[in-house]
Structure 1
Amino acid sequence: MNDLVFEIGLAIALIAIAGLLSTKLRFSVIPFYILVGMAVGPHSIQWGHFDLRFIESAPFIDFLGRIGILFLLFCLGLEFSIGRLIKSGRSIAVGGTIYILINFSLSLIFGWAAGLPLLEVLIVGGVMTISSSAIAAKVLVDLKRTANPETEMILGIIMFDDVFLAVYISILSGLILNGSSSLGGVLMTALIALGFMLLVLVIGRKCVPLLNRMLNIRSNELFLLVIFALLFTIAGFSETIHVAEAIGALLVGLVLAETAHLKRIEQLIFPFRDFFGAIFFFSFGLTIDPLSLGGAVWLSIGAVVLTLIGNLVSGMWAGRNAGLSPKASVNIGITIVARGEFSIIMANLAKAGGLLQIIQPFTALYVLILAILGPLLTKETKHIYRLMAPLFKRSRWGQGEPKKKEVTSES
């Protein structure tokens, strides 16, 4: 196909069909978007003269997908406020540390046990540690769990992940691409990432009165232009200082959640979130080559099992430390089990550095399995908790009142 507009139109039609099918079957829509993207991606099979592969439009669809990540994280930020995060600051820092330590340690042991060289082990560590903020945000919205008490911890771990990612990519880029990485450069990257996030939150909260006046605009057109300007400018700038643009979008959402215009922002922005979010998952499917996955099946399955265990243990530990109930703690570990955009970044770094080719199909299959399994398991956390209930009874955890009052919509 050479007509860009026609390809985009077909892509949207396929996404709509996938969404209708998932609704009919009562499954999470995310796996359907990914699988339909794989079916028509540049790596899929050409059926004679009938070529449905999305080749010409793939770069443009990928860009639309990046916009989808921004809207997903921005809208997730709107569900909270800076004040709520500050109150939970200590528990979030402890929970994020627990999550990183457990999952990163297990992933390094897994890479070493698989017989991979040192650099490949470090790449696998990054692939298996960082959860997908886009998938987590989509799942929380779809299941109407944004008001749940454990969602603050989930959001905090996502932000904590990004600080870790900024430092880790800096280290690996130096080791793989440049052959070295100075301690000073690593520390500077970490300080810049952390400082930027704190600066946006502090200044944003101070500027709420100014934002209230600035957003007092009658025209919806001009109102959206101002919101989009804030969103894309800050998200884009964050990327230039090695903080993921998605986290920049999350920070903007957290700031604007403090304003008096929150309801109007949500009403106007949510349709953009739903549209571009669907394109993101479709674009992710376009990047996966189905024919390259066979050689990494067992390695990927082993990694998936280890990730499920690591996430469940770290989620329960982080939740218990924060005073949450066992049910809420199970929700934490399962909700952020999906891997996605950040794992693909790590695999691309391995490819750029000329590391073992097995890293690419391993990452693709690992991410695909968890991108499908994560939303499905999150929907069934109630049943997972029931299966684990005897363990909680023996440990006497959750028999009393939790430290935090739970307000759940669908636990």
Structure 2
Amino acid sequence: MHSALFLIEFGAIILGLGLLGRFAGRFKFSPIPLYLLAGLAFGEGGLLPLGASEEFVAIGAEIGVILLLLMLGLEYTASDLVTNLKTQYPAGLVDATLNALPGAALALVMGWGPVAAVVLAGVTWISSSGVIAKVMGDLGRLGNRETPVILSILVLEDLAMAVYLPIITALLAGVSLAAGSVTLGIALGVAGLVLFLAVRYGRIISRFVSSDDPEKLLLVVLGLTILVAGIAQQLQVSAAVGAFLVGIALSGEVAEGAHNLLSPLRDLFAAVFFVFFGLHTDPSSIPAVLLPALVLAVVTAGTKIATGYWAAKRAGVSEKGRWRAGGTLVARGEFSIVIAGLAVSAGIEPSLGPLATAYVLILVIIGPLTARYTEPIATRLTHRRTAAAAAAATPTGTATVPTPRSPQDEPVEDQGRLGRP
């Protein structure tokens, strides 16, 4: 009877997620907020709390995080990471400063303490690579001149997570400074070792994993990833970071083949992960934190736009491309939920989970809109200011005759394709 109830519950969850995904796809927005809402509806204090399938959903959520980070790692090579770290680190520092401080400040203002401040700083700092990649694909911007800048910032954030997550894990566990330093040292050592192996022996690792049989390739890559993630977690390093480093170590045809095979699994378990986070958030606790979540969302949307604009300007991208870069970076998602989920599991601050849920819901809805409309709105406002300044500078009663422009004077729209990054 228990088995039958589990199958019914889990089947209903998967079917419901599929229908929600189709609904979101029809209206061209991210399904993440719908998944979170589904979790809220069927979790603590929801309409119909689940029971039989909750443990399996928890395991599926953990696999979802691992696959999200693995797939992200497959997008980059170790040499790409090293190059980005050397050339784009100023943008990463600006990104961390502008976007982590508002979260930390809010947590301190609300009296949640320094540990919660460090957690909320991470929630507001990290953009959603998954949502942003999907939005850029939907808008046809993968070849735009500002795209390498966006990807560089995302890569630097992912690298920073290799340091940040062990620190958070140590803080949430309440370990001493010495033990926390050991944990961080182990994390950095493991990350450095994997990066070294990926740069030096990446081809050998890829050749070992490679297989012409999709079934064998899927089993080897998935098994290796979960194994390394488990070992990393046993060493007090985040399992997600371990999975990310496995993705970096794989390259070439192996990475492409693994990406194609694992994409459906990632989408399935990532959806389960977002539902799981919603299951452990009481909907009645959200209204109390909705106003601070909205204020934080507005502030950090502005700081992300400023970050993207500055980084694109530094890279020599045109005005329109700068606004597109800033607007694209606004969305928060999987990483913010992962960080908040760690704090919720540790029982640090009861209001942190609801605040993070509301915050992600707001920005995951606003993010695709800012990606699409920040540049045209900024361009229109700039034209209005220019026209108003010109009118103010023109003496009353005189008329200005526009000077004919040659084709060479026409501005070139910054939509040139650079090839798929």
After superposition, where does 1:386-401 map in structure 2 within 5 Å?
A: 386-389=376-379
Deviations 1:95-136 (A, max 9, x none): 222111122223333344456655554554344334455555
Letter in 2 for 1:14: G
Q: Is it true that 1:166 corresponds to 2:165 in the alignment?
A: yes
8 Å Cα contact 1:85-1:152 kept in structure 2: no
Structure 1 pair 139/165, CA: closer, same or farther in 2 (3 Å)?
Answer: farther
Deviations 1:211-239 (A, max 9, x none): 34423534333222211122112222333
Q: Is it true that 1:221 corresponds to 2:215 in the alignment?
A: yes
Structure 1 pair 212/245, CA: closer, same or farther in 2 (3 Å)?
Answer: closer
After superposition, where does 1:84-99 map in structure 2 within 5 Å?
A: 84-99=80-95
Letter in 1 for 2:245: L
**How much is the aligned-residue C-alpha RMSD, in angstroms?**
3.7
Match of 2:153 in 1: 154
- Equivalent of 2:13, from 3, 6, 11? 11
SS at match of 1:8: helix
Aligned partners of 1:191, 1:289: CA distance in 2, in Å? 37
Deviations 1:150-198 (A, max 9, x none): 3431332332431452364256337xx46xx42x545444443333223
Shift of 1:18: 0.6
Aligned partners of 1:72, 1:64: CA distance in 2, in Å? 12
Structure 1 pair 80/349, CA: closer, same or farther in 2 (3 Å)?
Answer: closer
Q: Is it true that 1:274 corresponds to 2:264 in the alignment?
A: no
Aligned partners of 1:322, 1:241: CA distance in 2, in Å? 39
Structure 1 pair 193/216, CA: closer, same or farther in 2 (3 Å)?
Answer: closer
SS at match of 2:258: helix
After superposition, where does 1:303-318 map in structure 2 within 5 Å?
A: 303-318=296-311
Structure 1 pair 152/196, CA: closer, same or farther in 2 (3 Å)?
Answer: farther
8 Å Cα contact 2:289-2:351 kept in structure 1: yes
Aligned partners of 2:111, 2:290: CA distance in 1, in Å? 16
SS at match of 1:407: coil
Match of 1:49 in 2: none
Letter in 2 for 1:152: L
8 Å Cα contact 1:150-1:328 kept in structure 2: no
Normalised by the length of structure 1, the TM-score is 0.79
Moved more, 120-129 or 99-108: 120-129
8 Å Cα contact 1:149-1:404 kept in structure 2: no
8 Å Cα contact 2:66-2:239 kept in structure 1: yes
Match of 1:370 in 2: 363
Letter in 1 for 2:418: V
Percent identity between matched residues is: 28
Letter in 1 for 2:6: L
Q: Is it true that 1:235 corresponds to 2:229 in the alignment?
A: yes
- Equivalent of 2:249, from 252, 255, 259? 255
Normalised by the length of structure 2, the TM-score is 0.78
8 Å Cα contact 1:41-1:55 kept in structure 2: no
Letter in 2 for 1:30: I
SS at match of 1:88: helix
Aligned partners of 1:152, 1:118: CA distance in 2, in Å? 31
After superposition, where does 1:194-209 map in structure 2 within 5 Å?
A: 194-209=188-203
Match of 1:211 in 2: 205
Query: What number of residue pairs does the alignment pair up?
Result: 391
Aligned partners of 2:125, 2:206: CA distance in 1, in Å? 39
Structure 2: segments with no counterpart, 5+ residues = 387-409
Aligned partners of 2:380, 2:273: CA distance in 1, in Å? 40
- Equivalent of 2:37, from 24, 35, 45? 35
Aligned partners of 2:67, 2:90: CA distance in 1, in Å? 28
Structure 1: segments with no counterpart, 5+ residues = 46-51
Q: Is it true that 1:290 corresponds to 2:273 in the alignment?
A: no
8 Å Cα contact 2:127-2:154 kept in structure 1: no
Q: Is it true that 1:78 corresponds to 2:74 in the alignment?
A: yes
